[in-house]
């Protein structure tokens, strides 16, 4: 098939070939249904020359069936499996973001380390997905004994919204059974094997735990755990020979070093026996962090790291695809819409960090208490994302006059949007742009809000007094915009002005934003710092009513009740 020509493939329209790997090729596609139904998906096909290899095809079929049983928020979702035109395929969800290998490369290029909180959050989500898979039973309640076998940066995908997805469940196992693809699979992946896997011994789910430990080690250190050529790496992996975490990753919590040592133990019996145990210890490591790890924080980091790429991808998604060619005996496939419209992300609050919309950060409670390829869905292939610019806040009510003036931000919207675009790469250029926006629209709350966010977020521009002044003017202009008060609460908290922080968070609570559980958590935090234990308990209980799965809020609540 030509690389970029849309082609009918059963009930699917293959729009663009994204990449070709050792055993398969990946396409961006559409699922076409009745009444004009369309859904963007990914299609992975076995390479034509491998379709005749019975052993590989049989394994591919078995593993595709197995992957379809996996239904977890941290595992890529399989939709369909079958055979069309003598070619086996898998269809799966199409995600917008980058794999961890691409993230690591971009982070080095832009000198923007992933950071402790993001690394811990990613590791906890990988552990959660693996723990689910390892413990999964079939329909007869018999253990499936699933082992991923290929946990590596290429198979950990992060969306621009901060979701973490494990890719290629079971496919690595299928590939390992092929004499044609075996060497290709080992090359480049041996650095993430467990000692028993590198030695060729039988493995179980504890091999995935070792691989997860390697990924965490590298996210924190910013360098490879095993270095050298392939044979040197293989020898080091077999001996579990690497720099101790304390030497490679200085100034980390002692509890985190313990997690790494146990996950990376050479003997499986000395490791964590389940990913659930590792997950529990990682969550304990989060206690005491000043910024609470979350999908929102990770999403903010992704949007800043890939700000330019997101703009480029948005434009690419807007370009119309070429008309589909005729392929006998099928009719001409109509061209897809000129502007594909993936489901936009839900509205998000805009607290202190992360252009253009920061996913709010949770602050940590006391020492022991605070705080969690190339393409989309599949073997680490990169894909494209359509990101909508955040909307401006609702215009201020018009005065009861016969003349109806334009909304206060109309004259400044273009400047504000331009400032948001440059904050990811050149934040210093955002300040004069926002200054111009304020000049042409002095009653635009969003212009002041964005200026406050710049003064809060970027170390070289950080100026908390100026941030407070900007947020204060925004609040005067739009007192019903909860994000302003949330960000003010954040600034007052990091500057340890807890009474003012409490006042701001309390005001945000009154406005009942869609992230109310987060506001209540932060309010409880600053109340606890002031010794207002009962008030903090009441707010944590309310937060848990809104979000019963919030483990850190529960941990803080239990601790305060214990006191």
Higher pLDDT, 365 or 41: 41
Task: Report if residue 497 sits inside a domain.
Answer: yes
For the stretch 118-175, pLDDT in tens is 999 999 999 999 999 999 988 788 888 889 999 999 999 999 999 999 988 754 443 4
Mean model confidence pLDDT for the chain? 79
Higher pLDDT, 360 or 424: 424
User: In the 3-class helix/strand/coil scheme, how is 100-155 assigned residue by residue?
Assistant: HHHHHHHHHHHCCCCCHHHHHHHHHHHHHHHHHHHCCECCCCCECCCCCCCCCHHH
Residue 492 has pLDDT above 70, yes or no: yes
CB of 454 closer than 8 Å to CB of 433? no
SS3 33: coil
Question: Number of folded domains in the chain?
Answer: 3
Q: Which two tokens stand for residue 334?
A: 């109509």
- Same domain for 60 and 26? yes
- Same domain for 173 and 281? yes
- Same domain for 62 and 110? no
pLDDT of residue 457: 83
Task: Report if residue 115 sits inside a domain.
Answer: yes
Q: Which domain holds residue 178?
A: 97-292
Rounded to an integer, what distance in angstroms lies between the CA atom of residue 133 and that of residue 66? 10
- Same domain for 167 and 241? yes
List all residues 6 or more positions away from 57 whose beta carbon is below 8 Å from its beta carbon.
46, 50, 51, 88
Q: Which two tokens stand for residue 427?
A: 């934040």
CA distances from 328 to 8, 325, 331, 426 (A): 10, 10, 7, 52
Q: Which two tokens stand for residue 130?
A: 């693996």
- Same domain for 122 and 268? yes
CB of 371 closer than 8 Å to CB of 289? yes
Q: Which two tokens stand for residue 27?
A: 């396409």
Q: Which of 37, 71, 95 is the last residue of a domain?
A: 95
Q: Hey, which of 55-59, 349-353, 380-384 has the most confident mean pLDDT?
A: 55-59
CB of 270 closer than 8 Å to CB of 262? yes
- Same domain for 490 and 545? yes
- Same domain for 183 and 85? no
List all residues 6 or more positions away from 461 whose beta carbon is below 8 Å from its beta carbon.
427, 428, 431, 454, 455
What does residue 79 show for φ and ψ, rounded to 5 degrees? -100, -45
CA distances from 286 to 280, 293, 353 (A): 10, 7, 19
pLDDT class of 5 with cuts at 50, 70, 90: low
- Once rounded to an integer, what is the mean pLDDT over residues 555-562? 87
- Once rounded to an integer, what is the mean pLDDT over residues 421-450? 87
For the stretch 437-470, pLDDT in tens is 999 999 999 999 999 989 988 888 889 999 999 9
For the stretch 216-237, pLDDT in tens is 999 999 999 999 988 899 999 9
CATH number for the domain harbouring residue 493: 1.25.40.10
Rounded to an integer, what distance in angstroms lies between the CA atom of residue 540 and that of residue 456? 26
Q: Which of 39, 65, 95 is the last residue of a domain?
A: 95
Q: Which residue has the tokens 């966010």?
A: 453
CATH number for the domain harbouring residue 21: 3.30.200.20
Task: Report if residue 385 sits inside a domain.
Answer: no
Q: What is the set of active-site residues? A: 150
Rounded to an integer, what distance in angstroms lies between the CA atom of residue 189 and that of residue 119? 20
Rounded to an integer, what distance in angstroms lies between the CA atom of residue 144 and that of residue 130? 13
Rounded to an integer, what distance in angstroms lies between the CA atom of residue 168 and that of residue 554? 34
- Same domain for 37 and 101? no
Task: Report if residue 369 sits inside a domain.
Answer: no
Rounded to an integer, what distance in angstroms lies between the CA atom of residue 183 and that of residue 140? 36
Q: What angle do CA 512, 516, 522 make, to 5 degrees?
A: 125
- Same domain for 60 and 107? no
pLDDT of residue 369: 35
Torsion of CA 137, 141, 142, 144, to 10 degrees: -10
SS3 403: coil
């Amino acid at each position: 098939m030509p690389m970029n020509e849309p082609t009918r493939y059963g009930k699917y329209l293959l729009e663009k070939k994204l990449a070709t790997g050792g055993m398969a090729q990946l396409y961006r596609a559409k699922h076409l249904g009745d009444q004009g139904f369309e859904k963007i998906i990914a299609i992975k096909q076995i390479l034509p020359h491998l379709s005749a290899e019975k052993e590989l095809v049989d394994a591919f079929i078995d593993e595709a069936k197995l992957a379809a049983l996996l239904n977890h928020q941290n595992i890529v979702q399989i939709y369909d499996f079958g055979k069309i035109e003598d070619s086996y395929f898998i269809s799966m969800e199409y995600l917008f973001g980058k794999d961890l290998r691409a993230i690591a490369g971009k982070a080095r290029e832009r000198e923007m380390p992933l950071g402790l909180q993001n690394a811990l959050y990613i590791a906890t989500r990988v552990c959660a997905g693996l723990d689910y898979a390892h413990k999964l039973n079939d329909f007869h309640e018999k253990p499936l004994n699933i082992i991923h076998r290929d946990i590596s940066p290429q198979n950990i995908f992060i969306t621009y919204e901060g979701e973490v997805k494990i890719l290629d469940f079971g496919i690595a196992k299928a590939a390992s059974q092929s004499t044609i693809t075996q060497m290709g699979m080992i090359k480049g992946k041996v650095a993430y094997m467990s000692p028993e896997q590198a030695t060729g011994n039988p493995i179980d789910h504890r091999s995935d735990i070792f691989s997860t430990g390697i990924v965490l080690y590298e996210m924190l250190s910013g360098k490879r755990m095993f270095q050298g050529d392939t044979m040197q790496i293989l020898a080091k992996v077999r001996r579990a020979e690497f720099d101790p975490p304390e030497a490679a990753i200085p100034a980390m919590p002692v509890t985190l070093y313990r997690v790494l040592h146990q996950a990376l133990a050479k003997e499986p019996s000395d490791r964590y026996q389940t990913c659930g145990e590792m997950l529990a210890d990682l969550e304990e490591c989060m206690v005491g962090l000043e910024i609470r790890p979350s999908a929102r924080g990770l999403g903010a980091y992704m949007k800043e790291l890939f700000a330019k790429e997101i703009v480029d991808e948005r434009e690419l998604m807007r370009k119309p695809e070429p008309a589909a060619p005729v392929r006998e005996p099928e009719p001409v496939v109509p061209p897809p819409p000129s502007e594909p419209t993936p489901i936009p992300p839900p509205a998000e609050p805009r607290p202190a960090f992360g252009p253009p919309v920061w996913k709010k950060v949770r602050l940590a409670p006391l020492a022991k208490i605070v705080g969690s390829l190339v393409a989309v869905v599949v073997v680490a292939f990169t894909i494209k994302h359509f990101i909508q610019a955040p909307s401006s806040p609702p215009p201020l009510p018009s005065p009861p006059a016969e003349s109806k003036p334009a909304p206060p931000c109309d004259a400044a919207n273009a400047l504000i949007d331009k400032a948001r675009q440059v904050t990811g790469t050149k934040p210093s250029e955002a300040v004069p742009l926002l200054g111009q926006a304020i000049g042409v629209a002095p009653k635009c709350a969003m212009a002041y809000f964005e200026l406050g966010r710049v003064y809060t977020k970027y170390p070289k521009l950080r100026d908390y007094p100026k941030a407070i002044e900007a947020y204060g003017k925004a609040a005067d202009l739009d007192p019903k915009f909860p994000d302003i008060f949330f960000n003010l609460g954040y600034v007052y908290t990091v500057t340890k002005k807890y009474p003012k922080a409490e006042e701001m968070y309390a005001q945000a609570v009154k406005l009942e934003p869609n992230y109310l559980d987060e506001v209540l958590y932060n309010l409880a935090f600053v109340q606890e710092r002031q010794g207002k234990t009962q008030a903090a308990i009441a707010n944590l209980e309310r937060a848990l009513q809104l979000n019963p799965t919030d483990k850190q809020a529960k941990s803080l609540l239990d601790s305060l009740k214990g006191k």
